[in-house]
Structure 1
Amino acid sequence: MKQSHDRSLFSWYRLFSVLWLLVIAMQWIDYTEPLWFDETTALVTVTLLSVAAIDLLPLRATWRWIIKAIVVMAGWRIVLIAYDVYLPSGRLVPDQLYGMAQQFTPYIWFSLAAWVFFELALELLNGKKRILLFLAGDLIAFAILDSFTSYYLWQNVAWTVFAGLGWLASLHFRSFQLKYPHGWNRLRHQPLRIAANIVAIFACVLLIGVSMPSVSPVLTDPYTAWKNRGGPGGNAAATPVSSTDSGSVMIIAPQEVISGYSRDDKELGGGFEFSYGPVMTVDTSVRSYWRGETRRNYTGKGWMDLSEEGREFNRIQGVSTGELPGEEIPPKVEIMQVEQTITMQNEEIYPVLFGGYTMGSVELLDEEEQQTGGTMMWAPKEAELHWEMNHQALTRSSQPIGRLYPKKYKVVANIPVIPLEELREASFETLYPADKENAYLQIPSGFPDRVRELALQVTAEGTTPYRKMELLQDYLRQNYEYTNQPDLSLKKSEDFVDSFLFEIKQGYCDYYSTAMVMMARSLGIPARWVKGYSPGTQPNPEYMQRFPETGMDYRVNNADAHSWTELYFGDYGWVPFEATPGFSAPVLYKQDGSVMTLADSSDLDGASRDNGKGMLESMSPETIRNLIIICIAVILLWAVYQLRSVLYFAFFRLRLGRPLTLGEKAVLQTQHLIRRLRRRGFNRSGDETLRESVDRWKEKQPELAATLDTLLSEFERASYSPESFSPQQWRIVREQSRKLMRMTRKRKKRERYAVMR
C-alpha cells in the first residue's frame, strides 16, 4: 500500500508535463491547419489528445502502449469515416480491415509522426537544459515563419512561452520534492498559497504584456527588409505620388503598410500597422464621418478604380464652389446645414476634399492656395469633390509640392435628419418602385451563392429593408473579430467577401464594410462603399481647462482612416451604416416631432430593438457561449466535489486492477482523514503508531475522544482482523469521519477568531 501511495505522490509531475507538451503541440497543429486537409488535422489532434489522456492512467507501461494502439486505431477509423474518406463495407474481419489498410495509408503517417514526436519529447525532455533548448527551437521556428511567411504567429508564441514557463515551474517543484521531501510535505499542506503566488506572477506578466502601448518596431523585420532591399531602383514596387507636365513621376520607396487614406482599392485585404501621424483638425458643431470617395463596382477582389468606374464631373475654377449642384434632396428628410472648417496638419496630397456627409459648398481659406491652387471637380451623383493640381502653378511654385493641396477650407455640409420610425416601417414596394433601375445593385458574375444564402438567413426576421439592414449590421458586428492583422493563411476562396465571412472571420473596416455592401445588394437594397475618416477625438475637459486656446476641434490622424457603408432607401436618400465593431456612424434622427437628437446609429438602433426583449436575446452569441461554458465548468466542478470519495476509491481500484473490499476502503478512508487532519494541526511524527497519535490527540482535545476511539477501533479491525468488514461497519467509518471533520472545522474557526481578537 505504501509503495502504491508513493507512486501516486509523484505522478503529478507526469500529468503537468503531458499538459504543457500538449499545449505546445497544439500550436504547431494550429500553424499547419491551413496547409493540411481537414481530416488530417482532425486525425492528428485526436491522436495526440488520446495518447495524452491514456498516458495519465495509473497503469503499467505495457498496458498503456496496448491501450494507446487500440484507441489510436479506433480514432483513425472514426475520424476518417466522419470525413467520408473511408466507407466501411462487409464484415469487420477481413473485409473492413483490408479496406482500412488501403484507405488509411495516405493519412496515418501524419498521425504516427505526431505520436512518435510526442512520445520522444515526453521521454527526452527531463531536465531544465533540455526543456529550455526545446523551447528555444520552437520560438525561433515560429519567429522565422512569422517573419518570412504570411502567417501571423505571435499568439502561438505567447501560448508556447506560457506552457514553457509552466513546465519549468513544474520541474522546479519536482526537483524540490526530490531534494527536500520534508520541506515538500510542508508545502503540500498549503497548496492554495503556492498556487496563488504562481497565478499572481503569471497574471502580472500577462497584464504587463497586454498593457504595453502598440507602437511600431524601431527595427524592420528581416522579411520586410529583404523585400525592400532594392529601394526605388530595385525589384520592389514603387508608389507614384504625382506627375509633372513633363511626364516624370515622383516615387517613394516601399515601406511597411501603415494606416492612412487608401489610394488603391482594387485588391483589398492584408494587414497594416497603425500610424498616429496627424491629418487634419475639424472645427464643427456636429460630429460626423469625414467623407472622401465612394466606390460602385465590386470585382471580387476589391473595388474598381475610379478611372474605370467613371464619373460625371462639374469643373469648378476659383476659390469657392458656390452652391454645389447635386441630385434632388430626398423629399422625406429634412436637411441641416453645418459649417465645418478643415485645417490640414501634414503635407500630403489627397485626391479629394473631405467633408461631413454631402457638401453644399466649399471655400478655400488659405491665401497661398488661392493664388497657386488647383481645380475642384464635383461629382454630384457620388457627392465627391475631387482635387486636381494645377500643373502650370506646380512648375512656377517655389513652395513644397504638398502646399498645392488646400491647407485650410470651409465646408457647408448638408446633413439629413432622418425620420427613423417612419423609415423602419417603409416596405420594399414603397422604397424601390419596380420601374426604377439602380446602378448600385451591381454584383459580379460568379459571386458565391453561400454569401447570398447567409444574407437571407441573417435578415429573415426583418420585415422591411431598414430592419433587415439592422439585423445584418448587428450580425457582422457580433460574429467577426476586429484585427488589423487578419490571418490570411485561412483564406481559400478567391472572393474577398466570401473568404472573410466563411474562412478568415476577422479583419478591419474594409472587410466589414465591403461585406455589408455586397450582402445588402444580394437582397436587392442599393448600397455603396465609402472611404474617408472617422470623427477623430476632441480634447478632454481637463486638457481644455489647462489649454483653452486649443479649442474643441476634432483631431483626426492616420489611424482614423476608415471605410463604411451607405444604403439607399428611396425617398429617404442615402443613410450611413456601420458594420465594423468599435465604430458608430454619427447620424441625425428626427424624434418626437420637431425634436432632433444626435445619436450613434448602432447604439440607437440597438436600444430600440432591445425594448421588450429578454436579457438573453440582447446578448451576443459569444457572450452566451462563454456563459454556457462557465456554467458547465461550475457544474462539473460541483459534481467532482460531490463525487470526490467515489473518484478517490476508483483511482485505487484502477491501480489494483480489482474492486476494493470494504476493509480496504475503511483503511484508505482513515489514511485520507489523517492527512486532512494534519492541515488542522493534528501532526503525527514518523515513528508513532496510529494509536499513539490518537492518544496524544485525545489529551489535547478531550471532546474528540469518543469519535477518535471509534475510528481507531474500526481501522485496526479492518487492518488486522481476519473477519470480513461488514457494510454496517463501513457506514460507521464514513459517519464518524464526517463528524470528526465537522468538529475540527469548528475548532479551527474558534482559534482563528481568538487570534483576531
Structure 2
Amino acid sequence: MKKLKFWAASYVKLRWYERFVSLFVAIILINSIAIFENYWWPESFKIAYYTLGAAALIDLILPLKGRTIRLLLQFAATVFITFRFARMEWSAAPSADSGEWGWWFRETLAGLHPFLWIGLSLLAIHWLFTGWTVSRPRMFGFIGASILILTIADSFTPIWLWDNVAVVIFVGLAWLVMNHLDRLQRTHPESLKELLEYPVRVFTPAVIVLSVLFIIALNVPSISPLLQDPYTIWKKARGEEVHVFLGEKALQRDDILTPEGNSSSGYSRDDAVLGGGFDYDFSPMMTVSTSQRSYWRGESLGEYTGQGWRNSLFIESERVVPEISLSDGGGREKAQIAEVHQVVTLEREDAYPILFGAAPVSKVKWINSETEAVMSNAMRWSPERWELQWNEALPYPKTYAITSAVVTLDEQGLRTAKAVLPDGLSQYYLSLPAELPDRVRGLAEDITASGTTDYDRAKLIETYLRQNYIYNNKPDLSKLSGNTKDFVDGFLFELQEGYCDYFSTAMAVMARSIGLPSRWVKGFTPGSLPVDRYGPPGENMLDGERYNPTGAGTYTVRNSDAHSWVEIYFEGFGWIPFEPTSGFRFPYVSPEGEELDLTLPEADQSETPEAAVKTTGAPSRVWGIVSLAILVIAAAAWLIVKRRQMATAWFKIRHGNLNTNEQIVMEANRLIRFCKKRGMKREEHETLREAVARWSQSQRRLQEDFRVVLDGFEKAKYGQTGATKEEVERYTNKVRYLIGELK
C-alpha cells in the first residue's frame, strides 16, 4: 500500500493529466476510424491501431519535458509499424556502387502507399487533439464530435458502431473524472494530496460505476424505437422510403414486430404464415468466396397451406463425410453440370439448421479448417430436397468450404423436356389446398394459354409476375378486403404488391395449378462485391470485353439479401430455379463459350406497369460522405482563422454603445454573477474589495488575477479618465481566464 501511495504521489508531480489526455484521444480515434470498415484494407486498420497505441504508450512512459524526443520516437514507431504490416513486395536492394538507389527508394515508397500516409495522418491528428483538448470545453467538443460521427455512420451505413459509441462514452466519463482531479490539483492541491493517501477508496467507486454502466450498455437487448426521429418523419411525409440499418443485435423477422407491424429482413425460421412487411437489416451475415456468382440456397418447402409453407413428407437423408461426393437425387442425365467452389465465412453468432451454398452441394471439403475433424453426426444431406442440414445441438461452424454441381441453363433442351416427377413425389409437389379459389387457377391458365411447352408455360408465369406486380417491402395491407383467406389469392387480385415471399409463393401455386411440379425455396441472393468494384458483377468493361463473366469473387451477404424463389422439376434436368420477383435476376450458369440469352415469352402487361427499381451506387455514397467531410473540415478551418474577428463582433453586439469604463464594469459584474453560481457569494454588507479578499483566501493561486480585476474595476468605476480599447480587451481576457479557471 505504501508503494502504491508513493507511485500515485510521484505520478501526480509528472503532469499526469496530459499523459491521460494522450491515451484518451488515442482510444477515441481508434474507435472513430471504424467508420472506414469495408473501405480500408485489414492492413490499414492494423497500422492505424498500432500507430495510435504506440503514440499513447510513448506519451505515458517518457517524460513530458522531452517533447522533441517523444515526437521523433512516435514518428519512427509509425514508420516501423508501416513497414511491418504494409501489403507490399520488397524490391532487391541495389549494390552500394550502383546508381539505382533513387529508383529503389521510389519503388519502396510507392509500395507503402497508402499505408504510410494513413499512419502519419493519424499520428498528426493524435498530436493535434492531444494538445488541443486540454480544457474542458474542448474535451466535450472532441468527444461530442466523435459520438456524432459514429451515430450518423451507424444510422446511415451498414456498419454496426454502437459498441464503438459505448466505448467512446465510457472513455469520455473516465476523462471527465481525470479532468476533475486535475482541476482539484490546480485549485486545491492539498485536498488532492490527502485523497491520494487513500487511492483505493477514491478510484474503486468510480471504476465500479463506470464498468457497470459500460457492461449494461453493451448487453441490453435491442428494441425498435418507440418514437421516430425528425429525419424519418420528414422523409415519410414526403412519401420517401427510409432505409433502416439494424446491425448485429437486429430483430429477427420471426421474433418481434416493430411499432408499424414490420419485422426485419433476414433468413426466416418459420414460414407457416407469410405476409406483412419488413424493414431492411443491412448488417453483414456472411461472406462467400466463390468461383461463380449464384444464389445461396437454404431450405426448400413442399406443402402450401393457404397461408404459408411447411414440410409434411418424410424424406430420407444421409450422413455427410468431408471429401466424399454427395448424391443429387438423380434425374439430371440430360443436364450439363458446372462445378462451383465456395468458402463461406459467417459474420454473425447466429445458428441455422442449414449450411448455405449454390445448389445442389456435391461435396463438403472442410468445416472450420482443413485440419479440424468433423463429428459424424454434424451434418446430413437430403438428396431429394437438396438440403445440407446441420445438427443444431452442435456449435454452428464459423467457416466451411463446399463444392456444388450447378446445372447450366439450356433453354433449348428444357423446351423439349416434360415437367414430370417420379410417381412417388409427383402428388406431393402438385398438391394444393382444397380451398384455393378457382380464379387463381383460371388466371394461370389464361397467362399460359400461348405456351407450347412446359418450360414456356413456367416462363410465362414468371414473366407475368415480374412485369405486372410491384415490389414493396411494406405492402399496403389495407387493400386486402378480408373476403379471401388464401395468401396467393389476396396477393394476385387485391394487394398486387409485395416482396419475394409474395412473388415466389404465387408462382409456385400457379405452376402447380396447371400441372407443373414446384417447390418454394429460401436462402440469399449473391450479395455484393467490395465497393472498389464499380458496376454490377460481370458487367465491368475492359478493352471492350466482359471482365468477369462468371462473377467470381468474395461477396458480402447481408440480412437484406435474404430471399425466396421457385424451383420446377423437368425430366432429365432436375430442379430448375425461377425468379418471379420484380427487380431480381437469377445468376444462371451459361454453357461454356455461349452467351446467355434469357428471352422471355410475351405476356399481358395491361394490369400494372412494372415497378421502377431505384439503385444507389456505392461510389456516389462514398463521394457524398467524402464531400461532406471536406465541407466540415473547411468550415472548422474557417472558424479557427476568423475566431478573433468573430469574438470582436460578438463583443460589440453584447456591449452596444457603452463607453470603455462601462464595459469594464459590465465584465466585472459578469464575473461576480459567475462566482455566485460557484458558491462564492458577495454578502450585502461587503464591498467588492472585501469579497475579493475573502475569495482569494480559498483561491490562493488566483489571488494576483483577482487583484488585477479589482484594480481595473475600481479605476473604471471611480476614476476620472476613460480606459483605452486595449485595456478593455485585456480586462475582458482576464475575466474570461478567471471564469475558465473557476469552472
Q: What TM-score, normalized by structure 1, do the two folds share?
A: 0.43
Choose between structure 1 and 2: higher helix proportion: 1
Question: TM-score, normalised to structure 2's length?
Answer: 0.44
